[in-house]
A and B are shown apart, each in its own frame.
Chain A
């Protein structure tokens, strides 16, 4: 693959996603290594905990700057849940809050130079997505019983039985497929966004270095490439926030289906 992107292994935009074991741990034949992915996940979680620990430590009536930011994050998620599924949805606040800040911290920590972006691995995002969908299915059946299946066959009201049959024959497969595609799209969206963003960053940085080392008029190309890379870096910070937000808001929308399955 190296020759395709030109240059040595350091220029390969894919090698930044390589998982390296930092500490070999073997439990009953299972390989549970402490990898660079685990390390940066721990860093992200620790930073989040430290931030909210400091932000919530004083609990002043007139908040300090840090406390305001913490409260902003709190109300941001709470308002989002209230807007979509009402007061009833607030029982899922801890889950959504945790998911949002876990993904946000993982994305932002991944923007540090030499850091590893844990969310650029489908194993991590798929775990989160499967967890969310499992909670939706589990809570849906727990709260509504078999009424949860109304999600796939919404009541159609007064209608001719044949028309009803035809409609259901069309509707149920569509609803089923769209439901089954949810965990897939949830996982792939976050994963592909982070992967694509970091590949582009690496490519532009690689172009700049390659053209600068070639010398001559290509120096201008290197400058343009460097500036483009810097701009995309700024865009990536937006994407890091946006993808965490999208994951959280879709989590709430899917949980809302479990709360109120009959559309």
Chain B
């Protein structure tokens, strides 16, 4: 019985950990939105900024992936 509750709590915890991805989604969306915003105003400068775009997206995305890793750790390692 107690083991069942602990198991359920584990799944609830993993689900809660996924809320961290909301922040990453907002961040990545912001980056690509702002990039398109600027790129459509000045298309000739856009191609030089794709490197920065992907680095920024990767840095923002990594934080969401930490949430994913925590969820996976809770499910399979804890």
State the A residues within 8 Å of B (CB): 1, 4, 14, 80, 83-84, 185, 188-189, 192-193, 195-196, 242-243, 245-246, 249-250, 253
Contacts and interface: CB of A to CB of B under 8 A. Distances in A.
> How many B residues are at the interface, by size bracket?
10 to 19
Contact of A246 (B54, B72, B75, B76): B54
Nearest to A253: B55
A139 B62 CA distance: 26
Interface string B29-64: 000000000000000000010010011001101100
A95 to B, nearest CB: 18
Given A242-B54, A253-B55, A196 B62 contact: no
B10 to A, nearest CB: 10
B25 to A, nearest CB: 14
Given A83-B51, A188-B62, A189-B62, 11 more contacts: A83-B48, A185-B59, A188-B66, A188-B69, A189-B65, A192-B68, A193-B65, A242-B58, A246-B54, A249-B54, A250-B55
B70 to A, nearest CB: 10
A250 to B, nearest CB: 7
A185 B62 contact: yes
A246 B58 contact: yes
B65 A192 contact: yes
Nearest to A242: B54
B21 to A, nearest CB: 10
Contacts of B58: 189, 242-243, 246, 250
Contact of A192 (B59, B69, B76): B69
Contact of A1 (B59, B62, B75): B75
A245 B59 CA distance: 13
Given A196-B68, A249-B51, A189 B75 contact: no
Nearest to B51: A249
Given A83-B51, A249-B51, A249-B55, A189 B61 contact: yes
Contacts of A185: 59, 62
Contacts of B75: 1, 4
A192 B24 CA distance: 14
Contacts of B54: 242, 245-246, 249
Contacts of B65: 188-189, 192-193, 196
Contacts of B48: 83
B69 A246 contact: no
A1 B76 contact: yes
A133 to B, nearest CB: 15
